[in-house]
Amino acid sequence: MVATSLPGLSLFRADAPSAPLPAVYEASVCLIAQGAKRVALGDQVILYDAAHHLVVSLDLPLVGHVVQASQDAPYLCCKIDFDLSVLSDLVLAAGNEVAIASAPVLAAYPKDPELIDAACRLVGLLDLPGDAAVLAPLVEREILYRLLQGPCGPMMRRMAAADGHLARVARAAAHIRERLDRPLRVAEIAEVAGMSQSSFHHHFKAMTRLTPLEYQKQLRLQEARRLMLGEGVGASAAAFAVGYESPSQFSREYRRLFGSPPSIDIRRAQVDDRNLVAA
């Protein structure tokens, strides 16, 4: 994964199929140029490829793995994060007559040539830094417009509905992410969401397939993994940084999520990275 010079645009490459790995996907669209990937949210499994794009409507804890990739035909994908303020402006301009209550929070849709063209132009601006500052926001707005006008329109409108359940759960999820190292207080998060505790619990789990506590735990473990793998932080320091008071509890829960204790998982990931660079 490479974070590019354009905010919200990330590029992905894999030269071989990967093992399933938990990760939080932000509200975004993922477009594959080559290869295929499978993602799961609880018992919902979605396969997407060059003929389908994936749309994620809020920060969701998914388990994803590349299922089609090789040295000769690597998996290539771009992820474009959504600017919800721009999306809201577009929805207001287009009107809001479409029913949005039943729109999914995660789905794959058939490819749209006009959407792909806009995404290619956005990626192409990486080679034109002098033009990117002016043109990138315009192309990103066009991408949101294409999505809004396509089959995922109801899903996009649901994201833009500030008083809808999706927006309320998204605010709560963002609140949890910003305070990973603090104890989880459901009453406080429900207040941020503007919902009763019972309604908040119901809608949060319906959309994320996790309770707020389970959601926080996954985010904590994934952030700890990022600190260890990306910044060389030791396991104990990473555990404390994300709010764990017991290194042994951290190790148990890490192994349950990632399949190996922190030391083994990070060592294996570092070897994989070195092999990829060497290749």
Q: pLDDT tens digits, residue range 101-158? A: 578 899 999 999 999 999 999 999 999 999 999 999 999 999 999 999 999 999 999 8
Residues 199 and 242 in one domain: no
* Structure tokens, 251: 């190790």
pTM of this structure: 0.86
Q: What is the CATH number of the domain that holds 46?
A: 2.60.120
pLDDT for residue 36: 98
d(Cα 121, Cα 191) in Å, to the nearest integer? 41
Name the residue range of residue 34's domain.
Answer: 2-159
Residues 238 and 187 in one domain: no
Number of domains in the chain: 3
Residues 223 and 204 in one domain: no
Residues 53 and 142 in one domain: yes
- Where the chain has pLDDT below 50, the residues are 99
Residues 144 and 235 in one domain: no
Residues 100 and 184 in one domain: no
d(Cα 80, Cα 181) in Å, to the nearest integer? 28
Residues 20 and 147 in one domain: yes
Residues 155 and 169 in one domain: no
Residues 185 and 236 in one domain: no
CA distances in angstroms from 111 to 31, 36, 136, 147, 205, listed in the order given: 9, 13, 21, 11, 30
d(Cα 75, Cα 72) in Å, to the nearest integer? 10
pLDDT in tens, 224-239: 998 998 899 999 999 9
Residues 143 and 257 in one domain: no
